[in-house]
Chain A
Amino acid sequence: MAEKSRKPGASRKAPGVGKKPNTGRAGGRASARSRGNAKTPDTLLLVATRKGAWLYSSDGSRRQWKAAGPHFLGQIVNHLVLDPRDRRTILAATSTGHLGPTLHRSTNFGRSWQEAARPPGFAKAPDGQTGRTVKHTFWLTPGHASEPNVWYAGTSPQGLFRSEDGGNHWEPFGAINDDQQYRSWMGREQDGTPDGPKLHSITIDPRDPKHMYIGMSGGGVHESHDAGRSFAPLAKGLEVVEGFNPADMTFHDPHCIRLCPGNPDRLYQQNHCGIYRIDRPSDEWVRIGRNMPGRIGDIGFPMVVHPRNDQVVWVFPMDGQSVWPRTSPDGKPAVYQTRNAGKTWQRKNTGLPDNQAWWTVKRQAMTADAHDPVGLYFGTTSGDLWMSRDEGQNWRNIARHLPEIYAVETALL
């Protein structure tokens, strides 16, 4: 089947990738410094683009990067995720312009891929009724650490799916996909983002596999305490576009929701209408984006949390005025950082273009590693890959001229 074996031009194993994982690392979040003289883990970047996928590898210093790819050349890859539980399984959400969507799985860092036997698909509609069709899988989330083969997927049009066999077979969640209330909040296929409404930000509480959050663009933020059998909105405090009713979930548009690994009761959200924080058990979001510089605003797509410090997050503002240009404001790209949970923000653009750079960063295309200091990475809509080895103080380019970058994930090996 497609991509089952390595194709001409496809990558061999990248140096440093696939080696036996280092010991002494707990849950991917242990500080390198805290391990004394232990070797710093190698770093892997997983880059998904509109026309294929690439893996970039480096040692712990993150000074030199080696590219491996393209994988799935010409195919649309919306997300590429390495399983943090075994640190060797990669799932890729793929589709093409002509064919239906599917998923591929590799356990050897992309030397070979196996296609899912049953990719995410909606339940077949009864005779005489019109059913929905998955256009693409947009988001992949590995399950809880206690459920080693469980994965979750969010699709466009919006649907939530679960696999219990490492991504080979996928089952729909009726509580979201077929519920009339949720279907009305999702809107039609023409509603939401330009290339289709998306279910995203599937987030599992590291303390409880049954506790999860999802984001729906549009449709809002929702929470489940029973492993997805039922969901409830979590929208208090969130604003909607002027003139619409915030009590109607249809008008809510969370762009990216992230839970703090260092404090699972704290979540941050980049929304269509601002940047927010919530501290559970409170059910009210606080718009911390009000503290961003007024000329920049607090509109954007990605949201990145520090792997250990719940006070620190990074965003990538974009121009959300008038017709929503979806570019860096004034053509001057910059990351903004807070180190006090949103009270104040600092511009971090050293090394980035000073002007005339009209790209931006999609919601899955910015991430952080778990090194100390934290490495930050983002991929642009113009196909450039940038990184910072010092938590955003300085930026440098890793790769140019890739296809439009849809997602960037990182893992320590």
Chain B
Amino acid sequence: MPWRRPCYNPRVLPMRILIPTPLRSYTGAREVEACGQSLAEVLLDLDRRYPGFRFRMIDEQDKVRPHIRVFINGEQTFDVQHVLQPSDAIHIVQALSGG
């Protein structure tokens, strides 16, 4: 896959995102950078660079899938419209689902 820069808006600084193992086949790395003023924008940025990434963790109703969790600065959120600050750290993790 050709490398694509994380930010298409030069006025927005990229933030770091921790990627869980099931999604690293898309990113090829445990940590990547992306830009956006909300979680939704960050996920669109990731999907632009890693096509298919977003649908694996966000469903067609724009809900976080049941076994995926998103933490922003250590706080869990299910709101894809969550507003972000440039210094925010985003952790995407797979939920402990047993079995």
Q: Report A's interface with B, CB cutoff 8 A.
A: 1-4, 96-100, 102, 115-117, 119, 121-125, 130-134
Contacts and interface: CB of A to CB of B under 8 A. Distances in A.
Contacts, number: 68
Contact of B55 (A97, A100, A123, A125): A100
Given A1-B26, A1-B50, A100-B65, 12 more contacts: A1-B1, A1-B52, A3-B25, A98-B22, A98-B67, A98-B68, A99-B68, A102-B52, A102-B56, A116-B52, A117-B51, A122-B61
A102 B53 CA distance: 11
B95 A98 contact: yes
A134 B25 CA distance: 22
B34 to A, nearest CB: 16
A133 B97 contact: no
A66 B57 CA distance: 36
Given A115-B52, A117-B51, A119-B55, A99 B61 contact: no
Contacts of A99: 22-23, 56-57, 65, 67-68
Interface of B: 1, 20, 22-23, 25-26, 50-53, 55-63, 65, 67-68, 94-95, 97, 99
Contacts of A4: 1, 25
Given A1-B52, A121-B59, A131-B60, A98 B97 contact: yes
Contacts of B1: 1, 4
Q: Which 5 A-B pairs have the closest CB atoms?
A: A121-B60, A99-B56, A2-B25, A131-B61, A98-B67
15 contacts: A1-B26, A2-B25, A3-B25, A97-B99, A98-B94, A98-B95, A100-B57, A100-B58, A102-B56, A115-B52, A116-B52, A121-B59, A122-B60, A130-B61, A134-B59
Contact of A97 (B57, B60, B67): B67
B67 A133 contact: no
Q: Is chain A's binding surface mostly helix, strand, loop or mixed?
A: loop
Contacts of A96: 22
Most chain B CB atoms below 10 A, which of A115, A122, A124: A115
